[in-house]
Amino acid sequence: MTIIQNQVTINRPVAEVYAFLADCNNHEQLMPENIYNWSSTRDEATFTIQNMAKLSLRIDSRIDNSEVVFVPAEKAPFDVTLRWKVASATDHTAIALLIIEADLNMMMKMMATKPLQKLVDKQVEQLKVIMDRS
């Protein structure tokens, strides 16, 4: 199992960060420029990654003010789980951690690790920007 992660501290209470992450409609704002054809509901998102594939993710579980877990809504090229964990740093700041767990063979690992890390880095950076300005 390949695990890719990054975290960020956000100047917002954990409940606000969790509320944002628990709604798939908000995740379009976290995506890099090479994502298009975005369509979402509160529980599911479908999008296309430029020059790659169309993906559908759905929320598999929510733990209030703690975790949101996404899994593929349709057959994916490999098993993958995206897990957002949030925790209070202080009463007014939260730590958000994005973890991607992917079952990649050696060839896929060589090709996908760097783009997946870039995706994780971009999403945590964007989350901080969005939450700090709201």
Residues 82-91 pLDDT 10s: 999 999 999 8
Q: In what order do the strands lie in the sheet with 2-10?
A: 2-10, 94-102, 80-88, 67-72, 54-63, 44-49, 35-40
pLDDT at residue 31 in the model: 92
Who contacts 40 (Cβ-Cβ below 8 Å, separation ≥6)? 24, 25, 27, 28, 46
| Neighbour tally for 68: CB within 10 Å | 23
> Domain tally for the chain?
1
pLDDT at residue 133 in the model: 83
CATH number at residue 125: 3.30.530.20
Average pLDDT, the chain: 92
pLDDT at residue 8 in the model: 97
Alpha-carbon distance of 18 to 16, in angstroms, equals 5
Per the structure, the complete domain to which residue 94 belongs is given by 2-133
pLDDT at residue 63 in the model: 97
Residues 51-75 pLDDT 10s: 767 889 999 999 999 999 999 998 8
Q: Which residues of the chain have pLDDT under 70?
A: 52
